[in-house]
C-alpha cells in the first residue's frame, strides 16, 4: 500500500515539475535565435567553475559562506533523495547501506553536518530579510510575492532539514528495537544524540510513524528552479568581452553601402530591416530570456550599480524580473513555434510566430527613465554569480527607442543629430575634419 501511495505522489510531483520546466522552456523559446554552440570544451569548463564550483560567489565572503552551506547540503542530500526514491519504488529500506558499508555511515554523517549548517544559514537569511531588512534583500522590487516566495523557500528548507533529522533519529532508535527490518547504519553522531533525548520511551509504531513522516518530507515540490537553470545559463553565456556591444548587421550593411565598401542595400533587404532593437520579448534573444529565468533575485547586480547607488531609478535586478514577468504573461496568452536553441541563423533572421499584440510591450514593465540611467559600466554583469547580463536588454531597448521611434532623452537627441550631420558630438557649424583644410592653407 505504501509503495502505491509513494508512486502516486512521486508521479504527481514529477508531472508538476515537468510541466513547470516545459512552460519555462517554451517561454525561453519565444526569444530570437542566436548561436551559442562554439567552443563546447570551454563552455563545459566555465560551467564547472562558475555554476558547479560557485567561483564568483566569494567576492562577499559573509553571505557567500552561508550560501555555500545551503548549496553543499542541497547537492549531497540528492544522494539521500535518490535512495529514498529507490526505497519507495522497491519497498526496501536504506538500499545503499549493504553496498557502501562504513562509507554509507560517513556519508550520512556528512549530510547531517551540512544540514545543520544549512539550517543555521537559513535562519540567518530569514533574519536578514525579515528583521534586519538588509537593503539588498528588501528593495522595493521585492515587495509582495517575491518577498513571500523567498520566505516560503527558506521555510521549506527548514522543513526539509527537520525531515532529515526526524527520519534519521527515529531510525536510530528503531535499529535498537527492530534490528530485523532496520539495519545498523553505524553511529550517526547528531541523530544518535537527538534519538536519546526525543525517542527513548517511544514504541515501535510511534517511531515508525515519525520515521515515515520524515521520509515523506524529502519529496517537496521545490521552487528552487534557479539551481538547475544556473547550469545551462552559464554554459550558454556569451564569450565576447564584457562591454562589447553586439553589432547590428542591418546598420553595418547601410554604412558600408554609404562608404562604397559593398553593393548598395537592395529593396528586399531594406524591407526586411523592420525595427531596430527590442520593443518586446520577441525582439530579445533566447539567451536574454534564459538570463531572466535564471535570476535568483539576489541583488548583487543592483548593489554595485553606480546609477542605483546615486539614487537613480535603475535596478538591474528589477530589469531581469520585469523581462521574466512579461515573458510569462506572453506565454500564457500565446504559443510560438519552436526554434532549436543555439541555432546559427544570424542576427537578422525573422522568427515565424503567431501574430501577438495585447497592446503592451517591455516599456510597460521597464520605464524609459530606468534604461536612460544605465552608464553601461558592466558592473552588474561582473557582479552576477551565474553570468547574467542585464546590460544587453537595456541596450536593445535603447536602440528601439532611438533608431525606431527616433526618440530619447532631450539632452541626447542634439548629440545624435550632430553625429549624423557633422560626425562630431558637439554642435559646431563646421565639419569635423575641416581643421585639416585650414591647417593646410
Worst-scoring range by mean pLDDT, 242-251, 340-349, 361-370? 340-349
Task: Annotate the chain with three-state secondary structure.
Answer: CHHHHHHHHHHHHHHHHHHHHHHHHHHHCCCECCCCCCCHHHHHHHHHHHHHCCHHHHHCHHHHHHHHHHHHHHHHHHHHHHHHHHHHHHCCCCCCHHHHCHHHHHHHHHHHHHHHHHHHHHHHHHHHHHCCCCHHHCCHHHCCHHHHHHHHHHHHHHHHHHHHHHHHHHHHHHHHHCCCCCCCCCCCHHHHHHHHHHCCCCCHHHHHHHHHHHHHCCCCCCCCHHHHHHHHHHHCCCCCCCCCCCCCHHHHHHHHHHHCCCCCCCHHHHHHHCCCCCCCHHHCEHHHHHHHHHCCCCCHHHHHCHHHHCCCCCCHHHHHHHHHHHHHHHHHHCCCCCCCCCCCCCCCCCCCCCCCCCCCCHHHCCCHHHHHHCCCCCHHHHHCCCCCCCHHHHHHHHHHHHHHCCCCCCCCHHHHHHHHHHCCCCCCCCCCCHHHHHHHC
When pLDDT is cut at 50, 70 and 90, the band that residue 338 belongs to is: very low
- What domains are there in the chain, each with its CATH number? 31-223 (no CATH), 229-238+245-343+361-405 (1.10.1060), 410-441 (no CATH)
* Statement: residue 78 has pLDDT above 90: no
pLDDT tens figures, 118-131: 999 999 999 999 99
Across the range 233-250, mean pLDDT stands at 84
When pLDDT is cut at 50, 70 and 90, the band that residue 435 belongs to is: low
pLDDT tens figures, 175-209: 988 888 888 998 999 998 988 888 888 888 888 88
pLDDT tens figures, 40-69: 999 999 999 999 998 888 877 788 899 999
In the predicted model, what is the mean pLDDT of the chain? 84
When pLDDT is cut at 50, 70 and 90, the band that residue 240 belongs to is: confident
pLDDT of residue 283: 92
Amino acid at each position: 500500500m505504501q509503495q502505491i501511495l509513494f508512486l502516486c505522489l512521486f508521479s504527481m510531483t514529477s508531472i508538476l515539475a515537468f510541466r513547470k520546466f516545459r512552460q519555462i522552456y517554451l517561454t525561453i523559446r519565444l526569444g530570437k535565435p542566436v548561436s551559442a554552440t562554439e567552443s563546447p570544451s570551454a563552455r563545459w569548463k566555465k560551467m564547472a567553475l562558475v555554476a558547479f564550483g560557485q567561483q564568483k560567489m566569494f567576492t562577499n565572503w559573509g553571505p557567500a559562506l552561508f550560501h555555500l552551506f545551503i548549496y553543499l547540503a542541497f547537492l549531497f542530500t540528492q544522494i539521500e533523495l535518490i535512495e529514498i526514491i529507490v526505497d519507495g519504488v522497491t519497498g526496501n529500506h536504506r538500499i545503499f547501506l549493504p553496498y557502501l558499508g562504513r562509507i554509507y555511515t560517513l556519508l550520512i554523517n556528512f549530510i547531517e553536518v551540512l544540514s545543520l549548517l544549512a539550517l543555521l544559514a537559513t535562519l540567518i537569511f530569514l533574519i536578514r530579510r525579515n528583521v534586519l531588512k538588509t537593503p539588498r534583500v528588501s528593495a522595493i522590487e521585492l515587495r509582495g510575492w517575491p518577498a513571500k516566495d523567498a520566505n516560503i523557500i527558506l521555510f521549506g528548507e527548514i522543513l526539509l532539514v527537520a525531515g532529515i533529522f526526524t527520519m534519521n533519529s527515529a531510525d536510530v532508535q528503531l535499529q535498537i528495537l527492530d534490528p530485523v527490518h532496520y539495519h545498523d547504519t553505524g553511529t550517526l553522531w547528531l541523530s544518535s544524540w537527538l534519538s536519546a533525548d526525543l525517542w527513548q520511551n517511544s514504541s515501535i509504531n510511534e517511531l515508525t510513524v515519525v520515521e515515515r513522516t520524515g521520509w515523506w518530507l524529502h519529496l517537496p515540490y521545490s521552487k528552487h528552479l534557479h539551481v538547475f537553470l544556473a547550469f545551462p545559463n552559464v554554459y550558454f553565456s556569451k564569450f565576447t568581452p564584457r562591454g562589447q556591444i553586439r553589432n547590428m548587421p542591418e546598420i553595418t550593411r547601410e554604412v558600408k553601402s554609404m562608404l562604397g565598401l559593398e553593393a548598395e542595400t537592395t529593396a528586399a533587404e531594406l524591407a526586411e530591416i523592420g525595427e531596430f532593437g527590442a520593443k518586446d520579448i520577441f525582439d530579445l534573444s533566447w539567451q536574454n530570456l534564459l538570463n531572466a529565468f535564471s535570476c535568483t533575485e539576489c541583488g548583487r547586480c543592483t548593489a554595485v550599480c553606480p546609477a542605483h547607488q546615486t539614487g537613480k531609478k535603475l535596478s538591474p535586478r528589477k530589469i531581469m524580473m520585469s523581462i521574466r514577468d512579461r515573458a510569462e504573461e506572453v506565454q500564457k496568452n500565446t504559443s510560438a513555434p519552436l526554434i532549436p536553441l543555439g541555432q546559427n541563423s544570424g542576427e537578422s533572421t525573422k522568427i515565424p510566430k503567431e501574430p501577438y499584440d495585447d497592446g503592451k510591450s517591455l516599456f510597460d514593465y521597464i520605464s524609459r527613465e530606468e534604461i536612460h540611467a544605465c552608464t553601461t559600466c558592466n558592473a552588474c554583469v561582473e557582479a552576477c554569480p551565474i553570468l547574467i547580463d542585464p546590460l544587453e536588454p537595456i541596450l536593445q531597448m535603447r536602440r528601439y527607442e532611438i533608431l525606431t521611434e527616433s526618440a530619447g532623452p532631450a539632452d541626447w537627441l542634439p548629440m545624435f543629430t550632430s553625429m549624423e550631420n557633422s560626425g562630431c558630438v558637439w554642435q559646431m557649424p563646421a565639419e569635423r575634419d575641416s581643421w585639416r583644410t585650414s591647417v593646410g592653407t
